[in-house]
Structure 1
């Protein structure tokens, strides 16, 4: 084949690939899923009358990010602090019943509005992958929660807690509680589309992953997943995530390395009837990552959202943190 013919063929292949990449970016976004009532309905009976007002702390970029503070029973911080990270689409309000239970047990509790949610900046997006990690460090250094300090994350927030616990900032906290955590789409706990909770624009995801590998990050603000939220609470929830936010609000892609690198006391808590993740596979996921020593507790008759709402599940969360505090002090 003549050099000119080869060049023409190569040019045609490159053009076709670029066209396919452009089509994936433009047309490959997520569809809006049908509302998932098991996620939204449990909150209808929650009493928010005692919800603390929002407080603010300054992140390194100057943004004023939101959180709520629950003082421990008796007005002391002698039992330490629990920092709560909400799940996907949600905000600090969703952690209210769990925060109250920890406060009743004597902990000082902080429920965060993670950037891109609630009152912390524009919803659904962040400036760069890694910004949430920076924000968390800024929170701890500004607010200075009393020790021993526990980071307790739920669902996607649990995945983010795994990211922190197995990363270079793990010393920010004394221990970690992962509540029904998202781990990875290839993990045994994964249900396709989160059991109906999310719609993933996979063509766009693949295209953006490829662009990021060659250093092109300018399109990371594009939406890649949408959540099965109701129309009524849509103003309070975040209906979609950008590529940057979804990538940051979970473990690293090499999630097993995150788990293996955890050097602080940690535990997993999940509802046995979780409809978003396969709860009885958590032990396998952590064992496969080389950490069978991280205990997994499954709460009977408990689903995904009710892990943060039911009295039994909230009591189990308090028990878990008390055990972790005991380990951290030895």
Structure 2
């Protein structure tokens, strides 16, 4: 299947890439992350999307930190990064548990007074999931970047940019990563249980209204995976600001961070 976007145009600026660090949860699991320091007691937790890991978020993460808006941690979801080889058949609340473990670890090692939870693609969907969960109160605000929503929201393009294929019978998804760009560190298959643990509940909009969470959202108008105008329809009145960014696609919305950066001002 041909991808609608060319990964040759997507570069990770390795001079700005923070080193991978690891920590062990109280469940004895080893999880990884990257940390971008700043002279701030604000902390942004920024989650990645499907297929990759925290590395590809370095342009946005480093820009936030260099602007002095916040310290930034880019976690690797479990079964990514240092735990890539682990099984991704997980409980429905496992990713929230991992997030809480990360928060404990960060607060033990860095000064943190307020937190923003953000994410791109599947990570953006996860940020929205947390925004209507019991742990939402720990965060000052939420930022969803081109968030992945379940099919029932009718916000996905017909072929998802050629990037993702749904397995038959709802058994998970495949990532169609081009052979020329594989390094052996990509996650190419996802179980249904992992996706279910990351995506928003079906009653998301009602719960966003009831919970009154502070939410911002940005999607590029050239996005090949999600439908930007549908995001506007869904989140009008719920996200402020709600930005449909001209000329940006699913990856450049984070790799060219000038527009998204404004959402992280204190």
> Does the TM-score normalized on the shorter chain lie above 0.5?
yes
Closer, same or farther: CA 319–102 of 1 in aligned 2, 3 Å: same
SS of 1:176's equivalent in the other structure is strand
Aligned residue in 1 for 2:178: 230
Aligned residue in 2 for 1:208: none
Counterparts of residues 165-314 of structure 1 (less than 5 Å): 165-203=131-169, 205=170, 224-231=172-179, 232-287=181-236, 291-292=237-238, 294-310=240-256, 314=257
Structure with greater helix share of residues: 1
Counterparts of residues 124-143 of structure 1 (less than 5 Å): 125-143=88-106
Structure 1 residue runs of 5 or longer lacking an equivalent are: 1-33, 206-222, 326-330
Structure with max Cα Rg: 1
CA-to-partner distance for each residue in 1:44-73, whole Å, 9 max, x for gaps?
x3321342222222223111210111111x
SS of 1:95's equivalent in the other structure is helix
CA–CA distance in 2 between the matches of 1:98 and 1:109?
10
Counterparts of residues 1-20 of structure 1 (less than 5 Å): none
CA–CA distance in 2 between the matches of 1:194 and 1:255?
22
CA–CA distance in 2 between the matches of 1:38 and 1:56?
32
Closer, same or farther: CA 244–103 of 1 in aligned 2, 3 Å: same
Aligned residue in 1 for 2:119: 153
Aligned residue in 1 for 2:81: 118
Counterparts of residues 102-113 of structure 1 (less than 5 Å): 102-106=64-68, 107-113=70-76
Q: Kindly indicate whether residue 49 of structure 2 is the aligned counterpart of residue 91 of structure 1.
A: no
Question: What TM-score does the superposition give when structure 2 sets the normalisation length?
Answer: 0.90
Whether the 8 Å contact between 1:68 and 1:111 is mirrored in structure 2 is yes
TM-fit CA distance, 1:176: 0.5
TM-fit CA distance, 1:35: 5.5
CA–CA distance in 2 between the matches of 1:77 and 1:39?
36
CA-to-partner distance for each residue in 1:90-145, whole Å, 9 max, x for gaps?
10101111111111111211011111112135356143221111000111122126
Whether the 8 Å contact between 1:283 and 1:292 is mirrored in structure 2 is no
Aligned residue in 2 for 1:22: none
Question: What TM-score does the superposition give when structure 1 sets the normalisation length?
Answer: 0.73
Structure 2 residue runs of 5 or longer lacking an equivalent are: none
Aligned residue in 1 for 2:5: 38
Q: Alignment length, in residue pairs? A: 261
Closer, same or farther: CA 187–267 of 1 in aligned 2, 3 Å: same
SS of 2:83's equivalent in the other structure is coil
Whether the 8 Å contact between 1:269 and 1:298 is mirrored in structure 2 is yes
Closer, same or farther: CA 258–241 of 1 in aligned 2, 3 Å: farther
Whether the 8 Å contact between 2:156 and 2:227 is mirrored in structure 1 is yes
TM-fit CA distance, 1:263: 2.9
TM-fit CA distance, 1:258: 4.4
Aligned residue in 1 for 2:23: 57
Q: CA RMSD in A?
A: 2.0
